[in-house]
Amino acid sequence: MRQIVLDTETTGIDPAEGHRIIEIGCVEMMERQTTGRHYHVYVNPEREVEAEAITVHGITNEFLVDKPKFSDIADEFFDFIKGAELVIHNAAFDIGFMDSEFARLKPVRKTADHCGVVDSLAIARKKHPGQKNNLDALCKRYGVDNSSRDLHGALLDAEILAEVYLLLTGGQTALSLEAGSDEAGGEGGIRRLGSDRKPLSVVRASSEEASAHDEFMALLAKQAGETVWDKLATKE
């Protein structure tokens, strides 16, 4: 399955009030492993960024002046996410902005018509009811390093969310059992140990340990009758 972990930054909190996307960050995953492919762009929103929003993400109006408009990047962004399952923390927020941006263009595209959507916040709330489930709280809970996250940033948050999501949904991050993925050393495949590897050491019981074991087995046989170990010894 192809998944895209996605995050956006915006000029404000409500697209119905004319707020726009100013940054998009996407990280691609295949079979629960990041592929190294990502999509990242800053966008000129053609309006002012609210001061409160700037305190969250640090992206200023001056910085965005020479950036492309959403209409300039809409096709390449759509092509990157099309057909994938989107993993988004508080998906309704980002999808609302994406649909608002796509609605300004022709043809009009609705994200859910072309992509699956998974809300990692909903998963976290179900798994950890009554607890904080924002990205910082989940990083702390699952031991994910977010020390570089002084401000929100779409690509950085998508990278962090990818790691959190894998741990949140089972912790399987490094092994794929997909048929055909067992090539030695292949990324995501089963790792085969070489025949020239150093043999494992065998630690044998000392005479004192062996004697203590025999005494325990004799006591066990006295209390419970013939044991499984007795039957195995008889067969040998």
Catalytic positions are 152
Beta carbons within 10 angstroms of residue 132's beta carbon: 11
Give backbone dihedrals phi and psi of 136, rounded to 5 degrees, phi first.
-65, -40
Going by their DSSP bridges, the two strands 85-88 and 2-10 should be labelled as parallel
Q: What is the DSSP letter of 69?
A: B
User: For residues 200 and 154, is the Cβ–Cβ distance under 8 A?
Assistant: no
Place of tokens 């048929």: 179
Burial 22-42 (b: 16+ CB within 10 A, else e): bbbbbbbbbebbbeeebbebb
Q: In the numeric block, which tokens belong to residue 226?
A: 């013939």
Give Cα 122 distance to the centre of its chain: 14
